[in-house]
Each structure stands twice: as structure tokens, then as C-alpha cells.
Structure 1
């Protein structure tokens, strides 16, 4: 009879429960991310506790629970054991029904029930109490429907007994969570202590101070990757860098110099991680005076090996950690070194090994790049947080005068990793400060990543929450009568997707230096359609401000494109130079954000299209956490509570990935959301002229009925294509459209393509 061998000492245990308890209490508690190697199979090497706990249950056959246990074993600690370490219950032998379909139906209903309560549990606006009530009602309804089997008494009794045995495991919140933990699909957050503080507490006896420990809720990267790579559907969808090296047009992050460099350093293909971090506000029960206390630092990541169309969805953006922002400021790089960077180093050195059909498959894992707003990129890069003056740019050595007057970049002006390391190692604080550095970045501990060799920019914050606001104000002020501008924007018939972010102009737009109160998406919509909105107010010959706006439209099309070519990159250099020269000549306000446009061509070469590098979709990931915090009534450990909720959502997503048609369903859902009746699509290009069609019906099989349009000309003044009805119709599936994007028809003839197309 085989005993369980402890992976960290020479002790053995007779049962799975005793083994888990021993390892957890002796070798896990008080340790930061301990690693274990299974002594029974030697297949699971250097894995986390969560992963080992699930693996050992499958690796070693369960020894009967009636085996006598040594008398000297101390059971006093058993009451402290958390539910997630309890053993899996023995599966009962299913009943044999006279009607074969009954058990499969009951199993399907049980699976639907599990999906229902898990989706409700992960929903931002639903409390645990509501989940309990709904589960109870649904259970009673399902049990009542079993009376339909009464004509066959034998099957009815068996079905009732089978139903009761299965539903007894989900009759309470505790049992449902216990089953969730034991399923292996739920990746539980781990606590990492950041800060001890004295918290004032009021009671009937008066006010006193209580010691409070703030934790970071960490989701192990390796465990998440292990679980994802075990899904055949997910694994078979992954793309490898070597698939893109011969392509002339960049359509993926792997069509980049960074991907080639990593391939050469590693000597083969790899799993690439893109990491994002940002602060966001959550529930503030004590009003604005304590808003900063509940501000969160959230870190998410993507797996860039997925096809580009699947990378930006909620389900495929995974959580790395949550923590209070105030705690992170105490020792940001120290905390990062102990958590996320530590995990990345292990993955970089050891990769990840997955058992597939009895064979081990090894995947190297590397950090591809960092994504954040400018503040976050400076913080994580160890740079100073000033955005004016000399050394304001983290990519080059331009002083402030050069930032405002020089709009071309040369290699001799770029910062280098060698200079960074010399400044970081300098004992004199003045040396670091003169280089614009505060401290060495934790991410430089990685062998295949350096913040200076792999810098980043953020299109969203540079332009749509930065420079565009000043450009809009300049354009508005160029008109003699701002009232006409205000009325034109207010009356413009935004519809379709454009109506999701309708610009609301201000009454004093002609008297302010920047337009405030608009989101990045709203600014993007307004600046893209502004030539169409205001063209009727501009003389036919135009003016210098209008020409500046049209010049920016060309830059907009390139930086928002989902593809990039060498010709586009070279054209962007010229456009940025000419645009910034004219912008400053017209006395536009120059900041560090438009300066980053000078670096955009190099960033496209390094990482591919900038849309794969911006933080727009990452910031949307904040919303579920904000909604969860609004209904959450306990804030003793808010980061852990929010992380647990997110992992319930991630568990549901991982279970969906087990289905063979999962990604096809994702694509169908994307098409359904993207293309609506009345939308304009690009069908093809003839002689470099796009041919449009208007969707007039959506069919059940996914195809669309399309009324074709005739492209008359490109209206430079409005930066739109002018069209007219062609008089013929066709049917087409969204897969066959020339680009995966929908547009709107304005004034019955104008179409604005939102980016440059191949």
C-alpha cells in the first residue's frame, strides 16, 4: 500500500488529506511562493502549491480512509484547515436508467446549473446572498420537473435519488465553493503581505488602534498558463513567432524586431507575455476625503501567441495581481521583485511543461513588453516622474528645447541600456537624477528584458487623452463664430458604434486651451469625424488650421491601423515632422505627449502596429472591479475579494475553452457585435479604391445581405469617401470582408474608414 511522500522532507502520510495538511502547514504557511517537485512521478517539477495540491490527488491513487493512523498525529489543527485543501469525494457509481437519455439530460442540467451560479457569482452587480436565493429557486424548479418521469416509477426514483446526490454538493455556498476549489479550474489568489499599519477603530468603549496588514492578491502566472495550455482548443489556436518572419506586412506583434531578437536569443519559439499595470479607483464609502485609500493597482497580462483578433477580449486578459496603490508606493520595485518579476524569472529560466497525451511538452515563456500610461511606464521603468524639463523623455536624451523644436529622431540621441545601467549603479544621487533615473527597475532582473532596450509608448494617453485635446481647442478657436462650431457638433447625427461615444462640446470651447471632460474613445471619435462635421463651415480654399487637421488625419490613419508596412513607417516619419513643425508654428501647446510621436516609427518596427501596444482595452478591464466594489460590503481585504471575484469569472472562461468550437463561437460573437443592420463594410479594393456595401439584413447562418455602393471619389476636404447606391445586392459572410471593421454612412453618401487599410 503506497504512502504519500512529502516533496519537501522525508515524512510520509497515509491519506491525501493528511498529506495536504502536512505540506500546507509545514512547508507553505509563511513562505513566499514555495515550489515543489512530485516524488511519485517526477513529471511535475518546480510547481506551485496550488498546482501540486491538485496534481497529487490524480498522481497517487486514493488510499481507503479506514486505514488506521498513527496515534501520535496531532489533529488539533484540523479546524484551521481551509476548505480548498479538503480531499475530493469519492464518485458514486451512476444509476442505470431504463431510458438511456435520462442521465445525460440530468448531467447536462447539472452542468448548466454550475455555469449559471458561477456566472452569477462572477457578475459585478450580484451579491452572494442573491446567488444563494437564485440557486435555491432553480434547484426547486428542476426537482419539480422530475415528476414528468412518474409514469416510469423505476426511472423516477433513480432520477430523484441521482438528482439529490448531485445537488447535495451544491446546496450551500460553502459546498459550491468547495466543489469549485476541487475542480482544478479555479485558480485561487495568493496573499502577499505588503504593509502593516495601525487602523483607527471605533467602539462603544471609545476609539482604539488595531494592527492591519495590507495584502497583494497574486494570481500565479505559472498556474494560469498551465491550466490554459492543458486546454486542447486553446493550445491548438496558439501562433508561434516563426510563423511570421517571412511576412512583409506587419499584422501581429510577432511581425516585429522584438520577436526576432527573442527567437534568436532563445533559439526557437516561445510563449510571449504582455504585461500591463495601472491604478484605478474603487468604492469610496467615506466620500471623496479618503478616495486615495481605496485606489487599486491592477496588473493584467495577455498571451501574445493568440491570433490578434482574440487578444483584446475580457476573457483573454488575465489577472496577475491586485494591491492598494498606497502600499505599492512604499517599495514598488521591491514588491515587484518578490512577486511578478520572481515568477517571470522562473518562467524565463525553466519555461513551462505540460503533460499532453502522456507526453511532456515544454514551452519557453518570456516577457515581451510592458504596457501602461506614461506615469506607469515611468514608475515601472525606474524613471523620474517629471514630464517637463530636461530628460523628460524616457526614450531619448532630448532636452526641453529640443523636445519643442526638433521633430526628427536619430540613433545617437536614443538612450541605451548600458547608459541606464551605469546611472542606476552610480552611488551619487546627482548622477542618477541628471540621467532622469530614480532607481533600477525590477524588470531589469530578467535576462531577456530591459526597460531601456524594450521601451514602450501608449497611443491612447499620448494622443486621445493628451495632445488631441489641445488640437481640438486650437481648431475650435480658428473659427470666427464658435457658436456655429458648437451647433455643428451638437447636431451631427452620430449613429451606430459612433453613438457609443458622442462628443458633448462645451459652450466656452473657444476660450480654453484644451478640451476636457471627454474620454479617450470620445476624443478619438470626434477628431476622426471632425473634418466631416465642420467642412461646410470652412472656405473652399481652406486655411492653415484646417490643413493642420487634415495632416493629423493622415497620422491618425497610420497609427490606428491594424497593419504596418515599411512604406507606412517611412511616411509616418515625414508626416510627424511636418505636423509638429506646423503645430508649433501656429503656437500650439507642446508637451511630452506629442513628442512621443517622433518615436512611433521605431516603436512600430520594434513591436508591430501600435494598436497592439495601447492600453485602451486594458483600461476597460477595470470596470468589473469597480462594479464589484460597489456591491461589496466587506473591505477587510479588498484586493483579495476583488481578485477572487475575477478568478470566478476566469474559471468560467477556462471551462468554455474546453469546448472544441470555443474560438469559432468567439469569432461569431465578435461578428454579431461588430456588424449591425445599416453598417457600412469594405468588400474589396479595386485599383486601390475600396468598394463598400451596406448591410440591410443579417441572416441566421451568419451571412449578411448587402446593398453595394459605388465609390465616386475621395473627398480630401472631409477626409472621407463619397459614395452612391450601386443598385445591386449580394450576400457575404463577415469572414470575406476586406477588413474586420464596420463604418457608418453620413449625409447619405460619406464613409470615413477609421484607419489605413492594406
Structure 2
């Protein structure tokens, strides 16, 4: 069930433009929420599935917020953890098993030998197996999926037969991903993106007759309008939040007494450690002397943001963090 419109399973398979769907609106949503609060348990369960509403959102208490508009779609989960994974698996399985354009060993060796930029050194694609392709599950992060899609045309482009429909459809999806996750966008970007999404979904139905469009394929339809309203899609995704959350997930805790304090202490020590260079001086990636600001009131402080005083008091904390990290 889409939180932006009233799309049905049948509509998703044959409509690829946002204007073809009946939009949700604040007044209609509030009316349905009010009606559901007076229903029996069985009636609530039925209409909850029909309308896609589970309960009254606390956000309704905030004035001038339309939940059908302000709850944006996330490009990361729609593309890098959804459509890209599924379509890439379907396409590669067809190329390797049925068409035999290349082997899985060739693909992995080519990806491993590719000269990646230092900017994506930590986001290189992982090894791919035929079983992964068969199950439509890749052991890739969102960042490595973007790297894989940018590199793949350079790696296997010459191996694919000219005019292959599945390859053309996948190239459209790469263009959609780059535009939907770009830090820069204009009204023209949204218009081009809308046309690319329409063409891609239409081609996907033709090329993969046994694989229907998923709900994420429909959510993609709403992204062009979302970009027009709220700006570049890079500002809507949750990748940076997931990246920050990964720090806490990777720590193996042995004591769960006051876990919030333990997590905040470990995070602050880690940030202190990152803000120091090897020689003990401050890293300009985080702090620097600053720009000249006129008419600024002087404030007495034992620490100086422009000098090394800020870091003298936290060197011991950084050493302690390194000790904790190694242990």
C-alpha cells in the first residue's frame, strides 16, 4: 500500500506516471482515521488493509503537515536495496546461465581487477555467486551497489550483444539511480527522471514477463514530484543515518548496564580520535582556524578553537579509545 496514493496491485503493473493515480490528501486521511477509531476489532483489521492506515499518527497534531506529502520516499531503500538488486540478479543470471555471454568467474575477476577510484576504495563490490543471482540476494551494501552499477557497463558492456533489451532496461535504471541520488537537481531533472521511470517500467514488463513490478517500482514513480517539492534526492535518503548507525551495530557489547551512556561515551571517544592526526595535531577535515568574522564578542574559554589547546585535553581520551578498540 502506497502512502502517497491509492494504488492497487493491478494499477502498479499498468500505470507508470504519478498523474494516473488518485492521490491521498490530509482531509481524506483524517476522516478515515476518525472512522476507524469507532470500528470493532474485526472492522478495524479489514479497513486497515483496505486503506493502509494502522493508527492515528502523532504527526497529525502538528499544524500544516500533510502526511501524504511530507513523508517522502527514500531513494536508497527503493533503488540500492530494492530495484537494483532484483533487476541486476535477473539480468546477470540470464547473461551467465542462458545467454552465456560470460562466466561468473570472469565477472568477479573483472570487478576485482578494475582500477577503482580512491573515493570508493571502501565500497568495492563483493564477490557474486550464481546462487545469489538465483535467489535475487546480493551481499552488497548500498554504497557498493552504486559502485557496482557505475562500473558494470565498463566491465561487461563489450560482452553483451548489441541491442539486448534487458541490458538497455538496466542502463535506464542506472540513469534513474544517478539522477534520483544526485546532490544537484532542477525542474528539468524531475522531467527527465519521470520519462526514464516510465520507459524503464514499461520495458521491464516486456523483458521480464515472469517477474511483475514490485511496490518499490511504484514508489519510484513519486520521486520526480518529490524532487520538485523538496529538492535533490540525495537530501531525502537515509544512507548517512544508516552509516552512523553502523558504528553502534559493529560494537560487541558485553555489559548492557546503562547502554545509552556506554554508546554515547564510545561514540564521543571515537570522534575525538578521528579529529586528531598521527602527530597529535588537529585534523582540518573537522576543525580549522576559521574565517574572519567582524563584530564578534569575545568569550573567555580555556580552549581555543583556532589552536591546539582544544586537543591537548582530549589526547588521553583518544588513547583510551584506541585501547578500548583494540581490546
Deviation at 1:568, TM superposition (A): 1.3
Cα distance in 2 for partners of 1:465, 1:500 equals 18
Match of 2:243 among 620, 638, 641: 620
Cα distance in 1 for partners of 2:158, 2:132 equals 19
More strand by share: 1
Deviation at 1:545, TM superposition (A): 1.3
Deviation at 1:420, TM superposition (A): 1.3
Cα distance in 2 for partners of 1:585, 1:622 equals 39
Pair 1:419-2:28 in alignment: yes
Cα distance in 2 for partners of 1:641, 1:502 equals 32
Match of 2:50 among 430, 434, 437: 434
Match of 1:603 among 205, 226, 232: 226
More helix by share: 2
Cross-structure match for 2:157: 535
Cross-structure match for 2:146: 524
Match of 1:594 among 192, 217, 232: 217
Cα distance in 2 for partners of 1:453, 1:640 equals 37
Cross-structure match for 2:303: none
Alpha-carbon contact 1:460-1:614 (below 8 Å) kept? yes
Deviation at 1:572, TM superposition (A): 0.8
**Structure-1-length-normalised TM-score:** 0.33
Question: 1:80-119: CA deviations, max 9, x gaps?
Answer: xxxxxxxxxxxxxxxxxxxxxxxxxxxxxxxxxxxxxxxx
Query: RMSD value over aligned CA atoms?
Result: 2.9
Query: What secondary structure does 1:413 align onto?
Result: coil
Cα distance in 1 for partners of 2:53, 2:183 equals 34
Match of 1:637 among 258, 272, 282: 258
Change (3 A) 1:436 1:663: farther
Question: 1:674-731: CA deviations, max 9, x gaps?
Answer: xxxxxxxxxxxxxxxxxxxxxxxxxxxxxxxxxxxxxxxxxxxxxxxxxxxxxxxxxx
Deviation at 1:486, TM superposition (A): 3.7
Cross-structure match for 2:198: 577
Alpha-carbon contact 2:128-2:139 (below 8 Å) kept? no
Cross-structure match for 2:91: 475
Deviation at 1:464, TM superposition (A): 0.8
Cα distance in 2 for partners of 1:610, 1:412 equals 22
Pair 1:446-2:90 in alignment: no
Cross-structure match for 2:125: 503
Cα distance in 1 for partners of 2:81, 2:247 equals 22
Deviation at 1:478, TM superposition (A): 3.1
Deviation at 1:560, TM superposition (A): 2.3
Cross-structure match for 2:13: 404
Matches within 5 A, 1:698-709: none
Cross-structure match for 1:74: none
Alpha-carbon contact 2:84-2:173 (below 8 Å) kept? no
Cross-structure match for 1:490: 109
Cα distance in 2 for partners of 1:469, 1:634 equals 37
**Structure-2-length-normalised TM-score:** 0.73
Matches within 5 A, 1:127-146: none
Matches within 5 A, 1:50-129: none
Change (3 A) 1:470 1:623: closer
Matches within 5 A, 1:247-326: none
Deviation at 1:490, TM superposition (A): 2.3
Higher alpha-carbon Rg:
1
Cα distance in 2 for partners of 1:647, 1:450 equals 37
Change (3 A) 1:488 1:434: closer
Alpha-carbon contact 1:475-1:546 (below 8 Å) kept? yes
Cα distance in 2 for partners of 1:464, 1:569 equals 19
Cα distance in 1 for partners of 2:27, 2:178 equals 36
